[in-house]
Amino acid sequence: MSRLLSLLFGRLPIGWLQLRHNRGRLLAALAGVAFATMLVFVQLGIMGALNGTIRTSYTPFTADIIISSNDGNTLADGSPLARRTLYRALAIDGVVAAAPLYIGKLDWRRPDGSVASLQVIGLPIEAEKFTGPQVTPLIRNLAVADTALIDRQTRGVDTAALAGVGPSKPLQFEVNDRTISAIGTISIGGGFSADGIMVVSDQTFLGLFPNRISGTPSHLLLKVSDLSQSEALVRQLQNRLAGEPMEVHTLDEMIAKDVRYQTTQRPTGVIFGFGVFMGVLVGIVIVYQVLSTDVADHLREYATLKAVGYPHRFFLSIVFEEALVLAAMGFIPGLILAMGIYQVMSQATGLPVLMSPERALMVFAGTLLASTLSGALAARRLKGADPADLF
């Protein structure tokens, strides 16, 4: 460490030697930085899981443009639409196909008494242009009434029990007083609003939700002939539907809007975002406290050096050296602890809480920045110190 810092700063590693001199304080500071790093990682992991589950909830279907009610901000929110809007959209040049999309939620009470919340997606079986890669090969099998594709990663369900489900080995269960036969599986996973996903035909959907009618789908999906014209067609549709309670977006815009709303407007996203802020704040306070105490302990030595002509940037480099050492050495145990917590959280909740290299690098850069900021704050006392007043 001493040799590396000597090469990096081009002088004796005074900051590292001062930290190492008081090992108890050094260990306490490293524990504090590691805790703050772990706290940031955990909050970012949950935020990442929230974003990931929002995006994966769109994978059972696909579209170039989506029309939704203007009183909804997510896939599952919003009032139903008038189906006749579908035919108005098809009348526009460039729109080559359209399909209604039905969204609902129901509880699946399993034989052991546990209950799983399922987000139900209903699509016409002939709408193969609008099905995702996992659903496309199986959508025609849903022509039989009360059949479904069940999410084998549904939270709380034994994945091994669903592994063999197929047309020759259906899984039958009761939901909303109807017997549903799962004749295939998809792999999506649970999110923050549902434990899993079930895909059915539009006719089966209407049977499961008797208060819904075919003329009022949740969203309208559109395909265009030229993807480069999608945004122009969105504007054209917005003008055509002006004055009606609807919004028109490309599918990517809709997903981005959903993620933005759930992470900045919903309490869950706001709480996790505040947790990240608190983690950064705790880290800054801990490192500042350590560096400030160290500066105070060595103020007379610094004053002596200042009296013989050492410039302020020399002392600043010592404080920054200490800040960088604390950041680098505290980050590693924080990362290891966070990876262990990710593993536990993922197994306990079924959420995709994963450590990505990009996140690790981002938090490391943030740790360095927060420590440098703490060092700059702690060094302010040195700048205004008069050597004559210190003796």
pLDDT tens column, 173-201? 888 888 999 999 998 888 888 899 999 99
Quick check: pTM over 0.85? no
Gap between the Cα atoms of 172 and 212, Å rounded: 23
C-alpha span between 31 and 175 (Å, rounded): 51
CA distance 221 to 131: 10
Provide Rg for the chain, Cα atoms: 29
168: phi then psi, degrees, rounded to nearest 5: -85, -15
Residue 379 pLDDT > 90: no
Beta strands in the chain (DSSP E): 65-69, 95-109, 115-123, 147-151, 171-175, 178-186, 196-201, 219-224, 246-250
Q: Name the DSSP letter for residue 159.
A: H
Mean pLDDT of 253-269: 87
Name the 3-class secondary structure at 119: strand
Which ranges constitute the DSSP H helices of 76-146?
A: 84-90
The better pLDDT of the pair 300, 175 is held by 175
Q: Cα 141 vs. chain centroid, distance in angstroms? A: 34
What's the CA angle centered on 387, arms 384 and 388, to 5 degrees?
A: 115
pLDDT number for residue 336: 94
Bridge-based pairing state of the strands 246-250 and 65-69: antiparallel
Residue 41: Cβ-neighbour burial (10 angstroms; 0-12, 13-18, 19+): buried
Residue 273 Cα to chain centre, angstroms:
11
Phi, psi of 234 (to 5 degrees): -60, -45
Question: What's the CA gap between 7 and 10, in Å, rounded?
Answer: 5
Phi, psi of 279 (to 5 degrees): -60, -45
pLDDT at 17: 83
- Please report which confidence band the pLDDT of residue 384 belongs to, taking 50, 70 and 90 as the band edges: low
pLDDT digits (tens, 9 = 90+) for 199-257: 999 999 999 999 998 889 999 999 999 988 899 999 999 998 888 889 999 999 999 99
Determine contact, residues 132/59, Cβ cutoff 8 Å: yes
Give the model's pLDDT for residue 388.
61
Task: Write down the number of H helices and E strands in the chain.
Answer: 12, 9
Q: What is the pLDDT of residue 386?
A: 65
- Reply yes or no on whether the pLDDT at 326 is more than 90: no
Residue 180: strand pairing partners = 173
63 exposed, middle or buried (CB, 10 Å; 0-12, 13-18, 19+)?
buried
Please state the φ and ψ torsions of residue 7, each to the nearest 5 degrees: -65, -40
Identify whether the C-beta of residue 217 lies closer than 8 Å to the C-beta of residue 79.
no
DSSP 2-54: HHHHHHHHSS--HHHHHHHHSHHHHHHHHHHHHHHHHHHHHHHHHHHHHHHHH
As a whole number, the mean pLDDT across the chain is 86
